[in-house]
Amino acid sequence: MVIHNISLPPRQFGGCHIDELFTNCLDPAAHPYFAEICHLEVSAHALINRSGEITQYVAFDKRAWHAGKSGFAGREKFNDFSIGIELEGADDVPFEAVQYVVLAKLLAALGCAYPNLLDEQDNGVSNSRIVGHSTIAPDRKTDPGPLFDWQKLTQLIGFVSKL
């Protein structure tokens, strides 16, 4: 599972522009930045917005185009086998507490639906199976960013997977 962040325009939250990007409907005239990215054909499996609402764009058992050129732990082409989850945010803006809670619940549910994501030792979602975009594409990407609290996510996953 690959954790990302996104905001459109950069560092601006809310609105419909992320949906437009992931459905190939982004208007290049709506913002100067959009002219640079409107040609991209990208998608994520899901987005968790700032209020914790989840929007699913691609079925979890289908390929989404979220990872780009990627490699880690001897594997490449992460789009072929990973689940991409976007958090509405930016590298230099703290994420909302509700985003961590919803992300942990989603990861735990995905762990139940896809048993290969489970850690056999504690029957929870294995942290080794959850990486940032920056981990699989370190020369290109920085998300979810230095303000993403991996420890908080780990604690929440442990909590929700015991429910």
How many alpha carbons lie under 13 Å from residue 68 in its C-beta half-sphere?
14
Contact indicator for 102, 22 with CB cutoff of 8 Å: no
Task: Enter the tokens of residue 37.
Answer: 């990215």
Nearest to 162 by CA among 122, 102, 128: 122
Catalytic residue among 76, 86, 96, 120: 86
Lookup: tokens for 53: 């609402």
| Residue whose C-alpha is closest to residue 5's, from 148, 143, 115 | 143
- Altogether, the residues listed in the chain come to a count of 163
Please say if 86 is a catalytic residue: yes
- Hey, which residues are catalytic here? 86
